[in-house]
Structure 1
Amino acid sequence: MITDLVRELGAEVGLDLPAVHVTGDDPVLPSAFRVGTAAAATVGAVTAAVALVLRSERDRLAASKRSPDGFLGGGPPAPDAGRVPAERVTVDVREAAIAFRDERYFRIDGEAGGLWAPLSGDYRTADGWVRLHCNFDHHRDAALRALGLPLEADKEQVAEACARRMALSVEEAVTEAGGCAAAMRSRAEWDAHPQSAAVAETPLVAIRRLDHEGSGVPAPDPRGGATAAAGRPLEGIRVLDLTRVIAGPVASRTLAAHGADVLRVGAAHLPEVPGLVVSTAFGKRSCEIDLRTREGVAALRELVAGADVLIQAYRPGALAALGFGPEDLAAIRPGIVSVDISAYGTRGPWAGRRGFDSLVQMACGIAHEGGDGDRPVPLPAQVLDHSAGWLAALGALAGLLRRRAEGGSWHVELSLARVARWLDGLGRVDGGQVAEPDPSDLLDEMDAPQGRLTYVRAPGAIGDLRPYWTSPPPRRAEHPPAWW
């Protein structure tokens, strides 16, 4: 099943991926949903796509020895010129599943960080359940205003306020106030929702070329003389990461594990979840830019001009309003691959609605099924976030490979809600009583400015080549907004 899924994911983004050797099977984590299958399929697809990059580079290096032009001279190699045999791509289901919950195992000097704010959680309402996401202070304050509570209200007061109202009423009031909430729906209720229909009409990973066929030539390789044949598969590929919470950071962290240069762009005025920022920042640099200022916009334009990939998870339309929509990015840097991640997609009545993994699980029926409708029970990992992150990395790699073969700039889109639909379609497994796995053999340690870090190693392998991070998470805004 997993090998077929990998092939299907490759076809989704226009890649003929090499076969993946899979070890292990579901169930791995305690859930009826095929969490291990989703993890292994997405990790396997990305690893196979990296193998394509590696093979392409080695083929080009071999061909350049036969051709006076070679790749760097602009001429593609002959189809049979010095082709290097592919190394076996492998993925282990347990390893991938544990990587999907790496934030649970992450430690700083042996201590776990807090992942949830005090008011974040599930609340019983007069007719069901609702989840409030209050990890950011402004989302917390919006929820409290919507519930008619003072800003110093505690969890008990929030529970009392929710208990007096209907779940959908709380969801809408909090959303209208600028907060983040989701009522628990059954799958049937979600299927009847117009947003579900809009999500169903979109691809799992949508990818399109931004300029017309025949325009441009294959973009030059930014690595110059450094190639994957001599170094790491994505060595010299520049990635801008404009994301904050799990999905986007996982995507760029994955690319960094295969050698990409990743610059994470934050802002001093934007709130963050400290533990998640650190655990997803391996192998990256960190800078801050204030896009509310003219200077900040100019600084980002300069970074875009030197980038190969930009990953962003702002609400749909937010960056475009600042002059950084997909077409704008392609104009600034022809050949760029822009990747957009959203909660519910860009179509339908919820297009642009704020959302997070836990909220999408509530809205689309996953949490309802997990608790048999009596109470919400989430997945045993932030599966939608992690799947979306790996699929975003796959989309970025597909854009890079297709840019090389076809030229042009590329735009990739995906949403957590569409990932939820894909996960639901994988079927069920008898895994409700599976014991929690022991991750100890998959953990590693690294010294960092924050302390001694314990983390889950990056999964997947290409022959003897395994992904890894060469640097620890940086301090926030440790680096200037510039490429290196």
Structure 2
Amino acid sequence: MTTHPDAASTPPEPSDVVAALWRDAGLPAEALAHLNLDGAEPVLPSSFAVGTAAQASLAASALAAAALWHSRTGRWQQVSVDMRHAIAEFRCERYLRVDGGPAPELWDKIAGTYRCGDGRWVRLHTNFPHHRDGVLRLLGCANDKAAVQAALEKREGEAFETAASDAGMVVAAMRSFDEWDRHAQAAALHGLPPVTLERIGDAPPQPLPAPVSPDAQPLSGVRVLDFTRIIAGPVAGRTLAAHGADVLLVTAAHLPSIPPLVIDTGRGKRSCELDLRDPDDKRLLHKLLHGADVMVQGYRPGGLAELGVGPEAAARARPGIVYVSLSAYGHVGPWSHKRGFDSLVQTATGFNHAEAEAAGSDTPRPLPAQVLDHAAGYLLAFGAMAALHRRAIEGGSWHVRVSLAQVGQWLRGLGRVPDGLKAPEQKIDDIADLLEAVPSGFGMLTTVRHAARLSETPARWTLPSEPLGTHAPEWLPRA
């Protein structure tokens, strides 16, 4: 939606939100007649339209898959998404169980919010060991919540945010919406949609071939290189895999990961290890790139470009590539190179303050899900499929961009939910009908089924989640 972020109205119809995303991506309007959306706000305790954001972003990705199916077969199919199911999938990492027991711990022990000496709150993200150790070095204290609190009482919030960012760490000072709106980064993002598609090179049109098997899915035969970690990027790859893509996750032994997220987002993917600092592995990557249709990356801005696989280099090496980039704060503005995660972007851009204010609380209140991450994941997948559709008709190489801050701006534009904070919490027993048990390389998983229902090509993950580096760095034969 293009509504001003200060929209105070009740949320728009989810179908209108999908239609706005659809128009911005340049996709055929006739597809919208094949979408059915059920449910209504509120679905979780929040003053924001988190259910609408979940349903609309997930529906946009599923409808884009249906549009590609139509382009391959000449047949439309019905796409249905229930809001309650969509928001459950937005919290899938909370509901993950392994062999009937809890998944590995997600959060580091000192992660969270702290009040600084000037009264401003900051949020620390310390789930990666190097981020934790870097923050502790800056503070000169022990790895203990009480010691961190005592050290931050001697600091000013924004000054510590800046010092941490300058050191390559990830810390956010809490701002109100008014404070964020006066920030230069907010001004740089103003008016940008949550997903941008840009043609970055020439290539002839590349329509996807007609399916060769009766059980083919919309993305059968499409190859995706997945250079992502944590939630947003991995959800994008998992979504593309659910619609039939051959998704190859590329990581390296020296890179940190978060075990429960690896388990939950690995469904449907293969996983290999390549160290791009090694010349032989770099050559292997370029061989993979030549056979790829889509590359999704969520590393720090400019990180892969420094290794020779930025969007322009990828488009030169593989004309017709759809290069998909995730960032924290956007590709323009003074914070365009700043690292960040969902919880930090919520804090920096005003959501934690606004939610606390709505609840009558004087302590930061996060959204009831990693909404920016999950919405970004489905919008990344939507953008990738929209670009494949455009590539089939117009040709070209494409760069799709999504940032957590732009998704936050979009969420603000969906308005507020009157009495939304009175909605009941959604516990795992409340969504038992939305869960499934699936085998994996980690044991038997209890997970949330995919919320989008496609009448002819049901979303499914044909490969189990496996430990990182299980597979060879090679493509499967095209289906």
- Equivalent residue letter for 1:445: A
Q: Which runs of 5 or more structure 2 residues have no equivalent in the other structure?
A: 1-12
Match of 1:327 in 2: 312
Given the alignment of the two structures, is residue 55 of structure 1 paired with residue 88 of structure 2, yes or no? no
Which of 23, 26, 30 aligns to 1:11? It is 23
Given the alignment of the two structures, is residue 138 of structure 1 paired with residue 130 of structure 2, yes or no? yes
- Equivalent residue letter for 1:146: L
Conservation of the 8 A alpha-carbon contact between 2:218 and 2:457: no
- Over residues 250-285 of structure 1, what are the superposed CA-to-partner deviations in whole Å (9 max), with x where a residue is unaligned? 001001011111000001001010111111000000
Conservation of the 8 A alpha-carbon contact between 1:249 and 1:280: yes
Give the secondary-structure state (helix, strand or coil) at the position aligned to 1:402.
helix
Q: Distance in 2 between matches of 1:163 and 1:329?
A: 47
Match of 1:346 in 2: 331
- Equivalent residue letter for 2:192: T
Given the alignment of the two structures, is residue 30 of structure 1 paired with residue 45 of structure 2, yes or no? yes
Which of 459, 473, 478 aligns to 1:481? It is 473
- Equivalent residue letter for 2:258: V
Which of 178, 186, 194 aligns to 1:204? It is 194
| Superposition deviation, residue 177 in structure 1 | 2.0
Q: Distance in 1 between matches of 2:376 and 2:14?
A: 17
Distance 1:204 1:227, change over 3 A: farther
Which of 183, 187, 198 aligns to 2:177? It is 187
Conservation of the 8 A alpha-carbon contact between 1:29 and 1:35: yes
Q: Distance in 1 between matches of 2:173 and 2:346?
A: 10
Which of 349, 355, 366 aligns to 1:364? It is 349
- Over residues 12-31 of structure 1, what are the superposed CA-to-partner deviations in whole Å (9 max), with x where a residue is unaligned? 11112423211111100110
Match of 1:406 in 2: 394
- Over residues 211-265 of structure 1, what are the superposed CA-to-partner deviations in whole Å (9 max), with x where a residue is unaligned? 2xxx5321263xx664476511111111110000100000010010111110000
TM-score (norm 1): 0.91
Match of 2:112 in 1: 121
- Equivalent residue letter for 2:301: P
- Over residues 64-84 of structure 1, what are the superposed CA-to-partner deviations in whole Å (9 max), with x where a residue is unaligned? xxxxxxxxxxxxxxxxxxxx3
| Superposition deviation, residue 87 in structure 1 | 2.3
Which of 185, 199, 219 aligns to 1:234? It is 219
Given the alignment of the two structures, is residue 312 of structure 1 paired with residue 297 of structure 2, yes or no? yes
Higher RCO (C-alpha 8 Å, min separation 6): 2
Match of 1:388 in 2: 376
Q: Distance in 2 between matches of 1:250 and 1:209?
A: 24
Distance 1:225 1:37, change over 3 A: closer
| Superposition deviation, residue 472 in structure 1 | 1.2
| Superposition deviation, residue 171 in structure 1 | 1.0
Give the secondary-structure state (helix, strand or coil) at the position aligned to 2:460.
coil
With 433-442 and 395-404 compared, the bigger mean Cα shift is at 433-442
Which of 197, 203, 228 aligns to 1:216? It is 203
Match of 1:443 in 2: 435
Superposition RMSD on alpha carbons, in Å?
Answer: 1.4
Instruction: Tell me the number of residue pairs that the alignment of Structure 1 and Structure 2 aligns.
Output: 452
Give the secondary-structure state (helix, strand or coil) at the position aligned to 1:455.
strand
Give the secondary-structure state (helix, strand or coil) at the position aligned to 1:315.
coil
- Over residues 330-384 of structure 1, what are the superposed CA-to-partner deviations in whole Å (9 max), with x where a residue is unaligned? 1111111000000001211111101000000000000011111611100000000
| Superposition deviation, residue 465 in structure 1 | 3.7
Match of 1:294 in 2: 279
- Over residues 164-191 of structure 1, what are the superposed CA-to-partner deviations in whole Å (9 max), with x where a residue is unaligned? 2221122112222221000110000000
**Runs of 4+ more than 4 Å apart:** 227-230
Structure showing greater Rg: 1
Conservation of the 8 A alpha-carbon contact between 2:72 and 2:210: no
| Superposition deviation, residue 159 in structure 1 | 1.0
TM-score (norm 2): 0.92
Conservation of the 8 A alpha-carbon contact between 2:320 and 2:397: yes
Which of 246, 253, 262 aligns to 2:238? It is 253
Q: Distance in 2 between matches of 1:350 and 1:380?
A: 26
- Equivalent residue letter for 1:454: T
Q: Which runs of 5 or more structure 1 residues have no equivalent in the other structure?
A: 60-83
